[in-house]
Amino acid sequence: MTDIREEGRRRRTFAVISHPDAGKSTMTEALALHASAISAAGAVHGKAGRRGVTSDWMELERSRGISITSAALRFDYRDHVFNLVDTPGHADFSEDTYRVLAAVDCAVMLIDAAKGMEPQTMKLFQVCRHRRIPVITFVNKWDRPGREALELLDEIEERTGLRPTPVTWPLGAAGHFHGVIDRATGRAVRYTRTPGGATRAQEDELTAESARVELGHDWERAGEEVSLLSAIGADHDQKSFEAHESTPVLFGAALPNFGVARLLDTMVELAPPPADRPDVAGAVRPLDAPFSGLVFKVQANMDPAHRDRIAFVRVCSGRFERGMVLTHAATGRPFATKYAQSVFGQERTTLDEAYPGDVVGLVNATALRPGDTLYDGSAVTFPPIPSFAPEHFAVARARDSSKAKQFRRGIDQLDAEGVIQVLRSDLRGDQAPVLAAVGPMQFEVVQHRLSAEFGARISLDRLDYTLARRTDAASVPLLAGRRGAEVLERGRDQALLALFTDQWRMRSIMRENPGIVLEPLIADTSQEPR
């Protein structure tokens, strides 16, 4: 019988997080290229004759040049299995990213060499801090003008509280990138760009003498800075890294594929493998216990030729075998896994078995929602994935009344996926649900998908509400008919949400009704460290 813990040690399950335009999807593509999972890297913004990015498979993603939905990519590298879950970088899709980060063991934090720690990067980092996810930092776009390397290290430490421990150090300032010094081995590696950056960059090892002759001042300066790093103790320590106290740092450029192979090697050498996982009560589910898995994403209509629905399940313990009958923790009902697949962007292949850390795609999983637990053997329920507090609200209506059935089916599907939060009330009726979003771009995704996938074009009427709080049935009469307030039921969990136009209106109602129940929807993880 296969050793489950040994198979787990071969897995690396991680996400790439960054601010929009820091190069996240380009990095995802470069990693797959260097692992030989693809033969040529795609372009985020389509250049003529160049393929699109594997992880950005939706038409809207490719036309806008941004990641809108998370995507899973599985590939092999150095006898290890990598499960890379690409995340949306835009703040409007933070909820999807939050779900993904519930399923990974490590994160690669990508920062722009010129811009440093940007707001969305910090928000995503705080989610990693909250979940105790170790972070590896990659300073991207070093082939373009940017800031000083030591200055960026100071900012990383100041903003995140993590001690940066560079694994590689750049040869040349930002915009004059020759290669890197590998601090563990002392090797100097020179990078040479390939045409268009679509294939692996050429890497050549330089002797100290040849580097001195070829690079001159850049070599001397890099040597002085590496000596300074050693003098101040900025060396990697695995325990502090796994304890979320330090972050290994690498320098490179994803577009021309500079430093990408070294990042893959670092993931093999330093990134933690899957570990025993606590359940909702705090008890630990051992890695070699019977199968258990967490549903972190649901996606429908990935393939226009097959209008199916896939639930992405992170294997938390045990061995998964296609065809096994599991228990759905939320309902206690059996769940058959006849159609199990491995996913690579939009491409799918049949998957017969999987181990802790792997991502399994279960087809036609209509009963599953993000945050659900599946298990075999002894019962287990993992902590649920909370919903974010929405800040934008709009009433959706089908433009063509003859498409009412498609409209309702599409709205229910997008609600189940977590693309949007759908709120309803008897007053508004089923044909005019309120869509609640973290960011306004979610409305654009809903309009696009309803039209493209369900043939139901919609109109959206924006509402003046700006915040939502959880309430209870006893408080509903206290809010009924109040100006600037409304109570609706959220479809995904039947929670009662009270909507308000602003903080002043909410506080005014609270003063007038001291016993009213108004609770935040999610714990705040966006605050920067003290």
Distance CA 170, CA 226 (A): 10
φ, ψ for residue 332 (rounded to 5)? Answer: 75, 5
Which CATH number does 4-274 carry?
A: 3.40.50.300
pLDDT at 411: 94
**Among 149, 155, 135, 137, which Cα is nearest to 180's?**
149
- The whole-number average pLDDT for the span 232-261 is 96
334 is in an annotated binding site: no
pLDDT over 50 at 44, yes or no: no
Distances from the Cα of 329 to the Cαs of 297, 334, 450, 491, in angstroms? 16, 9, 30, 19
- Residue in 75, 64, 59, 66 with CA at minimum distance from that of residue 26: 66
Does the annotation flag 501 for ligand binding? no
Q: Is the pLDDT of residue 281 over 90?
A: yes
CATH homologous superfamily of 392-512 equals: Peptide chain release factor 3, domain III (3.30.70.3280)
Structure tokens at 391: 């800040």
Q: Does residue 300 surpass a pLDDT of 80?
A: no
pLDDT for the residue 35: 78
The answer to which of 36-40, 270-274, 413-417, 487-491 has the lowest mean pLDDT is 36-40
pLDDT tens digit sequence for 112-155: 999 999 988 898 898 888 889 999 999 999 999 999 999 999 99
The domains spanning 4-274 and 392-512 adopt the same CATH topology: no
Terminal Cα-to-Cα distance of the chain (whole angstroms) = 49
**Per-residue confidence band for 9, with pLDDT thresholds at 50, 70 and 90:** very high
Please report the pLDDT score of residue 91 as a whole number.
64
Residue listed under structure tokens 């692996």: 200
Tell me which of 35-44, 231-240, 355-364, 459-468 is least confident.
35-44
Domain boundary assignment for the chain? 4-274, 286-375, 392-512
The answer on whether 88 is annotated among ligand-binding residues is yes
Query: What is the topology classification, in CATH, of domain 286-375?
Result: Rossmann fold (3.40.50)
